[in-house]
Structure 1
Amino acid sequence: MMQLALRTLRFRAGLFAAAFLAMFFAAAMMMATGGLIETGTRSAVAPQKLASADVVVAGDQEYHASGGDPDEPPILPERVRIDAGLEDTLSALPGVRETTSYVFEGKAPTGTVDAIGVVAAPGTDVDELRKRIDAELDDRAVTLVGDQRGQAELREAKASAVTVMALAGVFTAFALLVSVFGVSSMLALSITQRHRDLALLRAIGATSRQLRRLIFRETLMISLIATALAVLPGQLLGRFMFDLLVDRGIAADGVVFHQGWVPTVAAMAVAVVAALAGALGAGRRVSRIKPTQALAEVSVDGRLIGGGRLLLALVVLGGGIGLTIVTIAVMSGPLTPATGAPAVILLAIGAALLAPVLTKITTFVWQWPVRAVGGVTGQLAVLNARGRSGRLAAVMAPVILLTAVSTGLLYLQTTSDEADRRAFADNLVADAVLTTETGFDARAVEQVNDLPGVAGASEYIDSLGFIENPKDSSPLNEGWNLQGVSPVGAEATTPVKITAGSFADLHDDTIAIDEQHAERLGVDLGDAITLRLGDKTALDVRVAALFSAPDDYDTLLLPADTLAAHTTAGVATRMLVSFKKDTDSAQMETELTDWASAQDGLAVSGRDVLLGEFDDQKRTANFAIYIMVVMIAGYSAITVINTLASSMTARRREFGMQRLAGSTRGQVMQMVGLEGVIVALSGVVLGTAAAVAILVPVSVKRLDSLLPVGSPWIYVTTVALTVLLTLGAMLLPAWRATRGRPAEAALAVE
């Protein structure tokens, strides 16, 4: 059987080319996303100032007491500094030649530094020295060696690595679903196109087991070659994707891209297993039929859909429906796409798995317009679609996936973005913003508040923190938003209404909290709360005020100077200003600008600047989503071309016999074009249905609208490109297949 497999690959290479390409691109895509995961896991940053240090002691940017997954602790947003006195302790340790303290950003509070570099004495084992140093550290500090040393210099490295790893995990999951489905479908179509060969082997005495072994070995050889050749392209694609993330600021510039043997071997294994599963599943039926029935069954499709495929389709659709329900009932705010996106993928794959059944329905619907337009040729196209529903389903599946992924994921993101922007705009009470790089003078806030027409002015600084006592778990254990405000203008510049206490009491170590959150925590006015701030400092605060706020306002308010002391910058660099309702905003901005011009280093801008910054942040975050859409849609488009071209090339003999029976080449091309219309429109309709199934509920929940938000050109462009791609992938190979003489084509091997 091995000899026969090799000969088949040699003399029927065209039949295996499409399967080879499907496995090649699938493996390259998964290797690339696997490389991103490894890059995030390693968090390697080449040290610059710390290059001479063997061991670096720096603040631990991870918060391990959040109550979440201990293997994925939240990353603190501020620079976690360490005690400067630790340098003397480390210098006295055996094996230490010298120590040096470093401050990399901002002005460190007195008695603290950003990192301490430790140089080992000659002959000292670095691992042993690291253990000695670890024994002297508290929970605020960690030791770094090797490529991790650079994390002390580049504070953003840890957070960006976690972001890259999370995004890569999503990329990999989606790529895995799409590529496994694409490879399996392509192998199934390849086996289906070889039914005549396999049936002939059964008729001359080959056993079912021998056929299965033949298919297994053919597929194994193709998949091993395809995945091996995908190693270099996979590395290049992974590096290209990572560079894009760096350019957009999603990944920190300085983190080193790594793609070792683990993601490479894992991607190869997945591609090979998917290929073998698809090939053996498709070959099982032809290997089981009786030899006397084998040749009789090659001309038309047999059973509409197998039991295993039907069961898998129902499971996948069930998963998609389940995620849709979770999206509607549980998820909210920016978290909505977390379950909405995979729901789109699963619904699309479920519809593609049911394509053999759905093809019958869509062909029945399209038969009248196709017959009306094409006449006799249209009638032949409809009969072909009916008689080859299984093969038609195989070429329609990637069209469904392409349409659903492109429209579903893009509109899901644009709808969520619009909902987030509206919520941000509703919570943005300020009319103008004052900015400075060095912090505000103590009298600046009072002076702005005293200006005619000003309803209130407050310093603004934000961070992230955790409530440690009373026991609390913030949403997904990711912490609470902390905002520093000035007591005199806080109520006028925030979307809150005081219900107990007063902002006048918000000074020193105090806090203002939403009354619903306070009730859930079991605290009231005057009670104590222990916070873990963004620089890992524990701070006991007293509840000075309770307020009511919009449902999506998960923010704790602290005095600006208190919060600023626990941020990397150390000062508030912005002041929010609200105008009275009966004033002219443009005139007020002019007067505020006149006042600011007399101060040093102050600049005035409107609220549009904050809205613009929010939009920029969204665009940056969404870029990763767009990369994922392009990657999945690109692979789906390749699969569409691959599948359709393979299907058309395999019909050369059929076209030749049709022309010998009297059809002209033009009529054959017209028939193929009408078949392409059936495939394209059916795939677009089913893909759209899969996308709408999640888009409508999400849009209703977040925007109270049945229609998702987004440019209609997204859908128009997707449909137009899908139709053109489908028709091109069918007509060009058909044109090539009908170039020769009909008699020669009729004798061609299928």
Structure 2
Amino acid sequence: MKNVRSSTLSFAWQSIRARRTEFVASFLAVLGGAILVTACGVLLQSGLFAGIAPQRYAAAPVVAGAAQSVTAEVPEGPDLVETLPERAMLPAKLVETVAAVPGVRRAIGELGFPVTLMTAGQGGHGTTLGHGWGSAALTPYTLRAGAPPRGPGEVVLDAGTAGRAGAGVGSTVRIATADGAVPYRVAGVAAPPGADALPRQSALFFTDDRARELSGHPREVVAIGVLADPGVRTDAPAGLAGLAGLFEGATDDTLTHRVEQALAAQGYGAERAVVRSGVERGEVEFLGAAQSRSVLTLVSGSFGGFVLMIVLLVVAGTLSLVVHQRRREVALLRAVAATPRQIHRMLATEVLLVAGAAALLGIAPGYLAAQALRDGFARIGVIEEGFALSVGPVPAAAAVLLCLGTARLAVWAAARKQVRVGPVAALRESVVERPDIGRGRITGGYVVLGLAVVSLGAVVAVPQSLATVPAVLCSMLALIGIALLGPRLTAALARIAGAGLLRRFGVAGYLAAANSAAGSRRLAAAVMPLALTIGFASSQFYSQTTLSEATRYQARAATVAPYVVTGAGGVAPDVAAAVRRVPGVTAVTPLVATEVVAVEQTLFDEPLSRSTAYGIDAAGVRGTLDLPVASGTLDDLRGDTVALSETEARWLGKAIGDRVTLALGDGTRVKPRVVAVYRANLGFGDVLLPAATVLPHTTDRLADAVLVATASGTDGPALTGALLPLSKDHPGLAVSDRTSLQAAQDAQTRSQDWLNRLLLAVILGYVALSSATTLVTTTTARTRELALLRLSGGTRAQIARMLTAETTLLAATAVLLGTATAAVPLTALSLRLTTNPVPAGPPWVFAAIVTTTVLTALLAIRIPAGRVLRAHPLEAMRTPT
């Protein structure tokens, strides 16, 4: 047995060396797949287990904070969790509870709220965080000059902020919060150990009483930092020691566990509070840390699913083509009494050697690709800067197993039919390719195309905000179905195109059509990667641009206020009140963007439902917003009330007068009464609440914008002049027309658009590489065929003309199939969202996709064909096939 295995391995290695060109395509397909799968695995693992290292809480080994999520229990299955968009807080009384825990030397309540430092004659120096001086020990910040703040009019600046502002001890600075700008005297300058400021944030310290007043939450804290007694173990040992303790049943008597128990005894268990140590403290410190983990898990999971599907298709298609091109060799082996088992073993050994080497070589670049993707996500604002990756062996092992498993399955499926037929039949079929495909493959193709039709119908049925999902899914299912039916479909298209090729290319066109129809499998293998590139790229890109345009279109249609007031980072509540007093202003409503989670059983019995929400002022709706109301009235949107879109009302099963349980942005539960149901509008979300209800539960307590309606004769400059006195207390205050509101809405979706483009570029790069290598393989495999044509009297020019005709047919087929699979669902999506059948977006992107695809086909065929034609025909005939 050992000798058999050794000879099989030796024969496989010799076969690989003799067919290096054929195996290059397989090698590159597996290599690219291993890189992408490893990268997705690292990102998914990071979303589950990584985070941001603490900075502000560096000196506190244990930190407690409010849970930044809403949890719902599911009787049979894991609990459902939705992250919160705003900062959740804990009652300040819990500081005393934590301070009483054994092993706690000191418990410090932390307040962090947005502030903006301004100096005379200069603009704002950017938003920083304000704190109480009592929490300076959590970093720790120590004084470099001056003294701590002793009164409500004094402040301590961190050294970096003081240097940028040119302020020192005794200077007067203006500091803006949600309540406006107020002058303060600089009492001192502080810095953390070894630095002028923290890398990711600046700090201004007030007295503790003044900090509680400015935060807007005098009875709450953002976090509780714990300083431990000497020798107290704060967390369980990591690594093997921790695992050993777990299996030995050791009692968890760490300080972290004690604090958790103390909070749970006060009704703040895991669903309402979190206690973190080590690197996980960053989850409490940075509001975006938990959201980054959630987003990274979601993005890597969904992106990884797409990547895995495409890798499976590309690798399986490439390896199937390699095996199919060796049908003559397989037939000869069958004729000399080789058993099907021996042939399977030979082919599997060859492919596993190539795939194994490619998968192993793809691991290291996969980790580098994960790092690059992480940096790209942070750069476009999808995750927080500084989010660390969790690097381990699991993603690499999963990538290798998936690639090898796919390769082995592809070889088995491709060789199964060839080794089942008798030796004589195998020799006959190796000369003339059979165009038919298996019954199971045909059935599977039609089933997948049927699912694509169902997805197309879902574009009209699902809510507008979700319509892009079935549209993209429809395109992908159509491409998979066409790939399964590829040989039959391409043969039919080749026969239809034969007449056109004959008219344009003459005899060369006739040969091209005949070759394409007879070699339908080869044509399908070359066409499908190109069609996949066009269809996938077009559907992904234009579905997002259509959704963005629909959001702008619907927001534009619903906004009737001629002017919008904006500010640096937001608009303070007193600005809206001041605008109402300006002569000529007839209606004013703030827009407070947030998200809410409905804690209700939905149409499909889901206990949690996340929705975009806006806070508005019912007194100013008329004249500023025109949201068509199906029932009720927005004039009643006051106090304990809510308005739902028709989609949301149907989803939650609510009508006028019903109560709906909502978790606001910071997790606060409310149960308002439904007073209006309005037509769904992508620009203004699915939930409207009174602005007075929403504002206290946002992190910065600022409105995103204020819509202003004026009487005739009141223009923008007049309104700007009337608001000029407010500018000194509210940085960046500006008046513009309503297009600025649309720009603000564009900014909310810009990061999502860039995310889709980034991921799309990664996938397209892989598909384009695989397409090029597949085309090179199919062209090189025709060496004997082209040599035989030359020996039969064909000139190089005639054969080149024939290849041009084949390339034209191949490119046209790919463009037709790829465009059709993208155009049909995109047209349905566009009609659903904008009533315009033409998808929104720049047409040059589609032109660039098609041009790139066609050039890929042209170069990948003509370059190797030129090399083949330059060789002597007799030498080419000796090339193994």
Q: Normalising by structure 2, what TM-score?
A: 0.79
* Alpha-carbon distance, 1:529 to partner: 6.1
Could you list the per-position Cα deviations for residues 216-252 of structure 1 after superposition, in whole angstroms to 9, with x for gaps in the alignment? 2222222111100000111122221221111110111
Which residue number corresponds to residue 72 of structure 2? 65
Q: Find the counterpart in structure 2 of residue 353 from structure 1.
A: 484
State the 1:675 CA deviation: 1.1
Question: Matched residue of 1:298: which SS?
Answer: helix
Deviation for aligned residue 1:531: 4.2
Residue identity over aligned pairs, in percent, reads 31
Which residue pairs with 2:721 in the alignment? Answer: 594
Say whether residues 1:136 and 2:255 are aligned partners.
no
Give the distance between the partners of 1:673 and 1:497, measured in 2 at CA: 58
Of the three residues 39, 52, 57, the one matched with 1:50 is 57
What do the CA deviations read for 1:361-385 (whole angstroms, capped 9, x no partner)?
1111211221222222222222211
Task: Name the residue aligned to 2:459.
Answer: 327
* 1:127-150, Cα deviation, whole Å (9 max, x unpaired): 432222111220421112332211
Give, in angstroms, the shift of residue 393 of structure 1.
1.4
Shift in CA distance, 316/204, structure 1 to aligned 2, threshold 3 Å = same
Comparing 44-53 with 567-576, greater Cα deviation is found at 567-576
C-alpha distance 745-423 of structure 1, shift in aligned 2 (>3 A): same
Cα 1:739–1:61 change in 2 (3 A) is same
| 1:176 maps onto 2:308 in alignment | yes
- Quick check: 1:58–1:82 contact (8 Å CA) kept in 2? yes
Residue in structure 1 matched with residue 857 of structure 2 by the alignment: 726
Structure 2 vs 1, CA of residues 550 and 476 (structure 1 numbering), >3 Å: closer, same or farther? farther
Q: 1:225 to 1:528 in 2, by over 3 A?
A: closer
The counterpart of 2:640, out of the listed 503, 510, 513, is 510
Q: Is the 8 A contact 2:63 2:223 kept in 1?
A: yes
Shift of residue 521 of structure 1? 6.5
Offset of 1:193 from its aligned partner? 1.4
Q: CA deviation at 1:19?
A: 0.9
* C-alpha deviation, 1:503, in angstroms: 4.5
**Map of 2:204 onto structure 1:** none
The CA distance in 2 between the partners of 1:2 and 1:299, in whole Å, is: 28
Instruction: Please tell me whether residue 13 in structure 1 is matched to residue 20 in structure 2.
Output: yes
CA distance in 1, matches of 2:286, 2:11: 58
2:804 to 650, 656, 673: 673
Displacement of 1:401 in angstroms is 0.8
Deviation at 1:303, TM superposition (A): 4.6
The answer for the alignment partner of 1:372 in structure 2 is 503
Partner of 2:113 in structure 1?
105
Q: What is the alpha-carbon root mean square deviation over aligned residues? A: 2.9
- Distance in 2 between the 1:595 and 1:168 partners? 50
Which residue pairs with 1:296 in the alignment?
A: 428
Alignment partners' CA distance in 1, 2:664 and 2:422: 73
SS at match of 2:72: coil
**1:28 is the counterpart of 2:35:** yes
- Rounded to whole Å, the distance in 2 between the matches of 1:680 and 1:191 is 24
Q: How many residues align?
A: 740
**Are residue 551 (structure 1) and residue 559 (structure 2) matched?**
no
Please, which of 712, 722, 727 is the counterpart of residue 843 of structure 2?
Answer: 712
Shift of 1:301: 0.6
| Cα offsets for 1:293-316 (capped at 9, x unmatched) | 333322221252122322332333
The one-letter amino acid of 2:723's match is A
What is the match of residue 700 of structure 1?
A: 831
Question: How much does 1:8 deviate?
Answer: 1.6
Structure 1 position 605, deviation (Å): 2.2
AA aligned to 1:551 is A
Residue deviations 1:615-650 (CA, integer Å, cap 9, x gap): 232232111211232222222211211111011112
**Aligned residue runs from structure 1 range 595-634, under 5 A:** 595-599=722-726, 600=728, 601=730, 602-634=733-765
Which structure 2 residues correspond to residues 646-657 of structure 1 after superposition, within 5 A? 646-657=777-788
Matches within 5 A, 1:273-422: 273-329=405-461, 331-422=462-553
SS at the partner of 2:561? coil
| Cα displacement (A) at 1:79 | 0.5
2:45 paired with 1:41: no
Question: 657-666 or 218-227, which moves further after superposition?
Answer: 657-666
Task: Find the residue that maps to 1:53 and give its secondary structure.
Answer: coil
Residue 126 of structure 1 corresponds to: 235
Give the direction of change, closer, same or farther, for the CA distance of 1:535–1:473 in structure 2 (3 Å limit): farther
CA contact (8 A) 2:67 2:273 kept: yes
Please state how far the C-alpha of 1:67 moved relative to its aligned partner: 7.8
2:83 equivalent to 1:75: yes
184 and 660 in structure 1: CA distance in 2 versus 1, 3 angstrom threshold: same
User: What is aligned with 1:745?
Assistant: 876
Q: Which runs of 5+ in 2 are unaligned?
A: 1-7, 115-214, 237-252
C-alpha offsets along residues 40-74 of structure 1, whole Å, 9 cap, x if unaligned?
22241111122233322111001013989955511
Distance (whole Å) between structure 1 residues aligned to residue 578 and residue 635 of structure 2:
18
Judge conservation of contact 2:74–2:80 (CA < 8 Å) in 1: no
Q: Residue type matched to 1:51 in 2?
A: A
Aligned partner (choices 427, 445, 448) of residue 558 of structure 2: 427
Contact residue 31 and residue 264 of structure 1 kept, 8 A: yes
Rounded Cα–Cα distance in structure 1 between residues aligned with 2:861 and 2:569:
65
User: Structure 2 vs 1, CA of residues 71 and 175 (structure 1 numbering), >3 Å: closer, same or farther?
Assistant: farther
Q: 1:497 to 1:668 in 2, by over 3 A?
A: closer
Code of the aligned partner of 1:321:
V
Measure how far apart 1:10 and its partner are: 3.1
- Tell me which amino acid in the other structure corresponds to 1:46: A
Superposed displacement of residue 194, structure 1 = 1.3
Q: Which amino acid aligns with 1:513?
A: A
One-letter code aligned to 1:166? L
Distance 1:221 1:116, change over 3 A: same
Distance 1:656 1:398 in 2: 27
Distance 1:522 1:682 in 2: 50
Distance 2:227 2:341 in 1: 66
Q: Is the 8 A contact 1:437 1:573 kept in 2?
A: no
Runs of at least 5 residues in structure 1 that lack an aligned partner in the other structure: none
In 2, the alpha carbon distance for the partners of 1:576 and 1:744 equals 79
Shift of 1:534: 1.6
Is this contact kept in 2: 1:104–1:153, CA < 8 A?
A: no
CA change 1:313–1:4 in 2 (3 A) is same
For residues 403 and 301 of structure 1, the distance between their equivalents in structure 2, rounded to whole angstroms, comes to 28
Is contact 1:215-1:279 (8 Å) kept?
yes
Q: Is the 8 A contact 1:67 1:477 kept in 2?
A: no
Question: Alpha-carbon deviation of 1:126?
Answer: 1.7
Deviation of residue 443 (structure 1)?
Answer: 6.9
- Could you say what secondary structure the match of 1:677 adopts? helix
Q: Relative to 1, partners in 2 of residues 1:496 and 1:636: Cα closer, same or farther, differing over 3 Å? A: closer
User: Larger helix proportion, structure 1 or 2?
Assistant: 1
Q: Structure 1 residues 317 and 521, CA, compared in 2 at 3 Å: closer, same or farther?
A: closer
- Between the aligned partners of 2:854 and 2:602, the Cα distance in structure 1 is 56
**What letter matches 1:206 in structure 2?**
A
- Name which of structure 1's ranges 550-559 and 375-384 shifts more when overlaid on structure 2: 550-559
Letter in 2 for 1:95: G
Change (3 A) 1:243 1:554: closer
SS of residue matched to 1:63: strand
Tell me: CA distance 1:387–1:76, structure 2 relative to 1, closer, same or farther (3 Å). same
CA deviation digits over 1:188-227, x for unaligned, max 9? 1101111222122111110111111111222222211110
- The CA deviation string for residues 279-306 of structure 1, in whole angstroms up to 9 with x for no partner, is 1111112212212333332222125212
Q: How far, CA to CA, are the matches of 1:340 and 1:352 in structure 2?
A: 19
Supply the distance in 2 between the matched residues of 1:484 and 1:264 (Cα, whole angstroms). Answer: 47
* Aligned partners of 1:449 and 1:489 also within 8 Å: no
Per the alignment, do residues 706 and 566 of structure 1 end up closer, same or farther by CA in structure 2, a change over 3 Å counting? closer
1:474 and 1:417 map into 2 onto residues whose CA distance is: 30
Shift in Å, 1:155? 0.2
Partner of 2:341: 209
